[in-house]
Chains A and B, each alone.
Chain A
Amino acid sequence: MAEPQFNPAHALKIDLGCGHVTLHGQAPCLVVPKGALLELLGAAGEEAARNFGQQLGVAAGHRIAESLGSGIHQASIGSFVDHLGGEIAILGLGSLAVERWGQALVIVIEGAPLGRPGVALVSAVVAGALQRALSRDATAVELMQSEGTLRLLIASKAAARKVQQWLAQSVPWGDVLTRLHEPRGEA
């Protein structure tokens, strides 16, 4: 059975007469410059940025679930990345790709907004989309960021806390991934 492709047609509509912008036919949206939004999120705090991003991710996950339908749990990695990446691109948050390091799922976003409010926003969007689309309690943890590239590790909340501790201890993100694959007794 062929998997449905991401269709961005008429995803964003601008009604010049009424002055409304519609995203996928849902609630009127605002077109806000990225810099202004990040400045606002920075002023609001990280928690507020995560909540804001969570709402954007949930909406994206909802559209992914609608697109893939009942076969979303059997969707291949490519198909799911196609839809998730499409939603992230429409939001203007960058280009999404997936890396698999052993059993670890790492999402790479090129051109993502960097800085603390930007990373918090993107992490919340990805986590909210996965939670809403696949009904998993996933957490996106920042592994590294450099030159517009952001790597997020998808892990549980317990594993996310350990990763953040290791990263705070200046453990390279490669070693962090290695440690995640170690047996529980050793980790």
Chain B
Amino acid sequence: MSTDRITLLQSLLERVKRNAALPRRFLGSNLVFGGTPGTQTDVVTGPALPIFAVPQSAPVAAGRSPTLSGAARVPTMSGAIIPLPPLAAAPPKTQVPAEVIEELDFDDSEAVDVTSDRPPPAEISSVEASPVVSVVEVVEAIDTTARRTEVAPVDELRWTEPPQQDSPPDSSPRPRAAASLDEALAEAAEDSDSVMPLKTPPPESGRQPMDGVYSASMPDTTPTDMLPLPTVEQLGETLDLEAPTSANIELDLVVSQVQTRKEELEFELPLRPSALELPAHDELPTLTTTQAPAASSQRRTGQPPRILVVPDDGDTVEMAAIEPMPDIPAPSTDRGIAELQAEVTARSAPAQTVAAEVIHAARRFTPRSFAELLDASLKLGG
């Protein structure tokens, strides 16, 4: 809260106190704020009678009687505006001291302008009527606030008192820390016997006593500190390992005795003593001949397939996947480095016999019209 706000509230408090000291008659009769009385509502029912009410809280100058100048217009339910003759407001019954009126510094926006065409909304009357009550309530509220501010330190003092006289919380106490290692071991042995505590302290169980052993600081122990140290018999004799050498690790490669059926594009790599060694040039996969019968016969006889092209070392990966299927010509690579050979069975030499003998050639006949062809056809066999 800012300083200006505090200053404003203090000045308001002083003014309220000062007004509170005034007699009640000044407050009850004339301190009526703007707005229509509670009995006069904004909604006019019944005949369109001229309704006119002069709020006594209209902003008038001190010492002047509130009068209306000009013709006032009162709205009705039908929407027609009835002009009213100028009326003189009733004089106040009690003369209000100018000082009191001056103290009530109302805002002009809270006053109802009866000269306006539109009637004030219904909510305005209720809102503006509330400060009438709040004048007294503010004083009471201020008094209550003042009393609370006086009581507050007492509550704080009571709050800090030790809860000796209070009944203990209905919960099991927190596990207190052991003061020594022996006590901790004993408690651990007891805890191992009991499965679980009878009552688990809820988080809202209240404050725990902080005096006595509870005020003692927690020992800085770790679980490893709580374990018993190993004995010499348990440790045994310690042997130092030799320093590592640079000798290669020799692993025996076990060759599988079961010959599984090879997949279509499977290539079995030759076994080498070490996987880090580069394969020899002869071990590189090569593209064999695609002549199916010959390849199958060579496979049966056990002869190695004829190597057509030996790829470079860089082509090992792509060439390793090519192995011709039995009795099926192997696919060619897209590089065109393999030369496919097909088995061609040549026909036997034709016999030296005369298949046809031309005795005489037909006469050259080229009809120029369909009728000529028809005539020639009709002459045949005649």
A81/B370 in contact, CB under 8 A:
yes
Q: Which of A102, A159, A184 contacts B362 (CB 8 A)?
A: A102
- Say if the beta carbon of B61 comes within 8 Å of chain A: no
The smallest beta-carbon distance between B73 and chain A, in angstroms, is: 87
For residue A182, which residue of chain B has the nearest CB?
B381
Q: Which residues of A contact B370 (CB under 8 A)?
A: 75-77, 79-81, 98, 134
A interface, by DSSP: helix, strand, loop or mixed?
Answer: mixed
In the assembly, what is the distance between CA of A89 and CA of B177, in Å?
A: 116
A169 at the interface (CB under 8 A from B): no
Contact residue range for chain B? 10 to 19
Which residues of A approach B to under 8 Å, CB–CB?
72-77, 79-81, 98, 100, 102-105, 130, 134, 136-138, 153-156, 158-159, 162-163, 179-181, 184, 187
Residues 368-381 of chain B, each 1 if its beta carbon lies under 8 Å from chain A, else 0: 11110111111111
Cβ of B129 to closest chain A Cβ, rounded Å: 94
In the bound complex, CA of A136 to CA of B374 (Å): 9
Contact B362–A156 (Cβ < 8 Å)? no
Question: Nearest chain-A residue to B370 (Cβ)?
Answer: A80
| CB proximity to A under 8 Å, residues B349-382 | 362, 365, 367-371, 373-382
Chain B residues closer than 8 Å to A153, beta-carbon distance: 377
A81 contacts across to B, CB distance below 8 A:
370
Shortest Cβ gap from B249 to chain A (Å): 80
B374/A138 in contact, CB under 8 A: yes
In contact, A134 and B382 (Cβ under 8 angstroms): no
Residues of chain B lying within 8 A (CB to CB) of residue A98: 370
A77 and B369 contact, CB distance less than 8 A: yes
Cβ contact of A75, chosen from B371, B377, B382, cutoff 8 A? B371
Tell me if B380 and A134 are in contact (CB < 8 A): no
> In the complex, which residues of chain B have a beta carbon less than 8 angstroms from the beta carbon of A138?
374, 378
Q: Which of B373, B375, B379 has a CB less than 8 Å from the CB of A77?
A: B373
Complex: chain B residue closest to A79, CB-CB: B370
Residue from the set A76, A162, A184 with the largest chain B CB neighbour count within 10 Å: A76
In the complex, 8 of the A-B residue pairs with CB atoms within 8 angstroms, ordered by the A residue number, are A75-B369, A77-B367, A98-B370, A103-B373, A103-B377, A103-B379, A130-B374, A155-B381
Are the CB atoms of A74 and B362 closer together than 8 Å?
Answer: no
